[in-house]
Amino acid sequence: MPTPIETLSNLGTDLGISLSVKRDDMTGAAFGGNKVRQLEFYFGAALEEGADTVLITGAVQSNFTRTTAAIARRLDMDCHIQLEDRVPGISDLYRDNGNVLLDRLLGATIHPFPEGEDEAAADASLHTIAEDLTAEGRHTYIIPLGVEHPPLGALGYVLAAAELVGQMDEVGPIDEIVIASGSSLTHIGLLFGLRVLGMDTTVRGICVRRRAQAQAERVVGRLRDLEDLLNMGVAIEPGDVNLFDGMLSPGYGRLNAATTDAIVRTARREGLFLDPTYTGKTMAGLIHLAETGRLAGDRVLFWHTGGQPALFGYADQLTRSLDRRA
């Protein structure tokens, strides 16, 4: 870091906007992604506590668990991963390839969890696993999922906001940033950081897990938690929380036609790979908003949060789509 900002001139011309991309898929650990910035703070806390084992929960094709396992290995720590069944009707390929294969290559111990939409139950299960590890003599640090815990990971994107502002002298002003909004920590950290620095750039979150109303409640609540964590109030106006859920259906981690089109279009126009769960849906949302004239201006930054290894977990679905196109 800093990760580069690159121009997407072909796709931008197609959409009639000045389009660029912030390459947080290049953050440098195990195929990169936004979670690397967040994990700096979780692992900092883990090391301060003297932990020798880290424990995390996520979806079967979680990018968070993959980067956690990789950084744990760099720090000579053990890693236990709980994989939640969030996506119905998935194939064996989804369960065995992509991020799951990388988790196994990294030597992480994997614990299956049948519930996919119960964050409290997932966190409770982590504590049960941690108790077993403690009984074995391990000192375990838990990276939690639910909103009951301080948003440590968001601090990585408060710093990323400062990084972006430092790059604006070179790349020029930005009217709108389009970014995935799921757990919301990347979204809130970036928005909070920009406002602290006096920037009024629109930050648009593309919903990848829940509808806009529910996600807005989560974003607002987590912003308050971040203020408490930093003991720092910042003027976030109601209109600052911008969300679009038009690409969410049929649900988290499930492909739709617009997302598949966005993945293929970005690859063929820019040579840039997106993933089906996060960045593909985010680009699909950006394309729709541009084509319907709903962006805040013509100078748009797409924040690439990584996730490309998950493409291989969707190879069967994507291959069928590519065959139909051919």
Domain edges within the chain: 5-33+152-325, 35-143
Q: Can you tell me the distance from the alpha carbon of 311 to that of 259, in angstroms, rounded to the nearest whole number? A: 12
DSSP string, 37-49: HHHHHHHHHHHHT
Q: What is the mean pLDDT of residues 77-101?
A: 96
Structure confidence by residue, pLDDT tens digits, 125-177: 999 999 999 999 999 999 999 999 999 999 999 999 999 999 998 999 999 99
pLDDT at 188 over 90: yes
Q: What is the mean pLDDT of residues 105-132?
A: 95
Distance of CA 82 to the CA centre of its chain: 18
pLDDT at 234 over 90: no
Structure confidence by residue, pLDDT tens digits, 286-324: 999 999 999 999 999 999 999 999 999 999 999 999 999
Domains 5-33+152-325 and 35-143 share a fold: yes
Q: Which residues contact 68 (CB under 8 A, 6 or more apart)?
A: 35, 39, 42, 54, 56, 79, 81, 143
> Are 181 and 205 in contact, with CB atoms under 8 Å apart?
yes
Decide: helix, strand or coil at residue 193: helix
pLDDT of residue 116: 83
pTM beyond 0.85: the answer is yes
Pick the catalytic residue from 9, 18, 20, 62: 62
pLDDT-derived band of residue 115, with 50, 70 and 90 as boundaries? confident
pLDDT at 238 over 90: no
Q: Can you tell me the distance from the alpha carbon of 132 to that of 221, in angstroms, rounded to the nearest whole number? A: 32
pLDDT of residue 134: 97
CATH number at 5-33+152-325:
3.40.50.1100
DSSP state, 309? G
- Cα separations (Å) of 270 from 22, 37, 98, 325? 14, 25, 23, 19
pLDDT-derived band of residue 268, with 50, 70 and 90 as boundaries? very high
Q: What is the mean pLDDT of residues 212-222?
A: 97
pLDDT-derived band of residue 233, with 50, 70 and 90 as boundaries? confident
**Active-site residue 62, yes or no?**
yes
pLDDT of residue 117: 85
pLDDT of residue 166: 96
3-state SS track over 232-278: CCCCCCHHHCEEECCCCCCCCCCCCHHHHHHHHHHHHHHCCCCCCCC
Structure confidence by residue, pLDDT tens digits, 6-15: 999 999 999 9
DSSP state, 79? E
Q: What is the mean pLDDT of residues 40-60?
A: 98
**CA trace torsion 119, 206, 55, 115 (10° rounding):** 40
Token pair recorded at residue 213 = 């109303």
Q: Which CATH class is domain 35-143?
A: alpha beta
